[in-house]
Amino acid sequence: MVWRETDIMDERLRFVVECLAGDETMTQLCADFGVSRKIGYKWLGRYREFGPEGLHDRPRAPLNHGRATAVDLVERIVAAKEAHPLWGPKKIMARLERSAPELAWPSASTAGAILERHGLVGRRRARWKAAGNGPWPPAEEPNAVWTGDHKGWFRTRDGWRCEPLTVMDASCRYLLALEATGSTADEETWPVFERLFWEHGLPDRFRSDNGSPFASAGVTGLTPLSVRFIKLGITLERIAPGKPQQNGRHERFHLTMLPLAKAPEADRTAQGQAFEAFRRNYNEERPHEALAMDTPAQHYRPSSRAMPATPPEPDYPAEAAVRSVRHNGEIRWNGGFVYVSKTLAGEAVAATETEEDGQWALNFHAHPLGILDTRRMKLVRRSAAPTKPLGAAADTTGGKL
């Protein structure tokens, strides 16, 4: 039998009042209200113990059951979340299982419920999609591709302007550098890369945006830093303007380190120490979903290409017309001068006639600089070059300056 369809609390309260009045027996009252004597005694007992509040329905879930997570494990899950507030339950459980595999840890979903009960789960924001690899082949192994960028600047508490330089291995997400630099100038940036090359060896390719210190607005797009990379045999990969997804993994990492910029340290020294502590934690402690919850340090290994004591000389083909770049950035060509780049002053470049259209392609080491437009006597990007040579004939000086 069930309570009649009125307000259920009113019915229970009316039942208790009439029962306490003593005008009817319990058997008769239960019959009048359409409930069993067991139900009637239950609600009378709850009223006597708790008053009217005792007539509310209680949760039916058991207070304890055989699958409940042990208290000591709950405490360790909560402690791990408090130590790493930006980690989700998947990363927390992967870290705990790796540190104590002998324990019966709950699933990540159960850990999430535990953290929610303790008020440690905030509003989940939409995830940034780090999709796409641009026009380049993927990085299949460590040091195939390094990625780099300067994170947006902020000031430490003493007013010093910090422009964080971040360098990462694209294959295993190993954070090679998180450096507290004061600007994007070559004199601040190159010492960081020089140290990385000596410590880890050379990558095959380096991917960046088109901003300083990695690229410039000229036809060649060269900077002192990119010239050093080319001379070391590192292939440059530059993302298309307005296409940050082509360096998506690196952009996604910048969201991970964003709290560091929102809570700056006292000065440059303290900021550098905080960055290094974060880098070690990111590489050695923080599990990564793309690595099956391993850490980047478990997958990274140094490059087999060691940093040379002296950059090698360019190995141009015998048929190439080699030119030395003058102090003003020009080379001599067909009795005149063509501007290339002041960044290459003193360096040797080589022009090679292309088989498909007879144009003269200019290279610095293995890096393409552009096409020599012999009609206008200027260097142009390959996409802007004329389809066939115009004006003056090809160089006939035999390579003489």
Weakest-pLDDT range from 224-233, 352-361, 378-387: 378-387
Taking only the tens place, the pLDDT of each residue in 226-241 is 999 999 999 999 998 8
Contact 374, 360 (CB under 8 A): yes
Q: Which residue has the higher pLDDT, 367 or 67?
A: 367
**Mean pLDDT along residues 66-81:** 80
Highest mean pLDDT among 53-67, 249-263, 316-330, 381-395: 316-330
Distance CA 112, CA 87 (A): 11
Domain 145-298 part of CATH 3.40.50.300: no
Taking only the tens place, the pLDDT of each residue in 42-57 is 888 888 888 888 788 7
Contact 231, 335 (CB under 8 A): no
Distance CA 359, CA 394 (A): 8
- Chain mean pLDDT for the chain: 85
DSSP 342: G
Write down the pLDDT at residue 128. Answer: 46
Write down the pLDDT at residue 385. Answer: 47
Distance CA 265, CA 271 (A): 5
Q: Which residue has the higher pLDDT, 128 or 310?
A: 310
What's the pTM value of the predicted model, to 2 decimals? 0.70
- How many helices (H) and strands (E) are present in the chain, helices listed first? 11, 13
> Could you state, in order of their start, the residue ranges of all structural domains in the chain?
8-55, 72-117, 145-298, 321-384
Q: Which residue has the higher pLDDT, 359 or 355?
A: 359
Write down the pLDDT at residue 106. Answer: 87
Walk across the sheet containing 360-364 and list its strands.
Answer: 321-324, 348-353, 360-364, 367-373, 378-380
CB atoms within 10 A of CB 221: 19
Taking only the tens place, the pLDDT of each residue in 19-42 is 888 888 888 888 888 889 888 888
Taking only the tens place, the pLDDT of each residue in 88-117 is 888 888 888 888 888 888 888 888 888 888
| pLDDT band for position 63 (cuts 50, 70, 90) | low
Write down the pLDDT at residue 382. Answer: 75
Highest mean pLDDT among 48-62, 232-246, 335-349: 335-349
Write down the pLDDT at residue 92. Answer: 84
DSSP helix/strand/coil, 99: helix
Write down the pLDDT at residue 398. Answer: 42
Does position 395 have pLDDT exceeding 60, yes or no?
A: no
Distance CA 284, CA 289 (A): 14
C-alpha 39 chain-centroid distance: 60
Output the 3-class SS for 12-33: HHHHHHHHHHCCCCHHHHHHHH
Contact 227, 347 (CB under 8 A): yes
Write down the pLDDT at residue 123. Answer: 61
The Cα diameter of the chain in Å comes to 126
**pLDDT > 70: what percent of the chain?**
88
Taking only the tens place, the pLDDT of each residue in 142-194 is 999 999 999 889 999 999 999 999 999 999 999 999 999 999 999 999 999 99
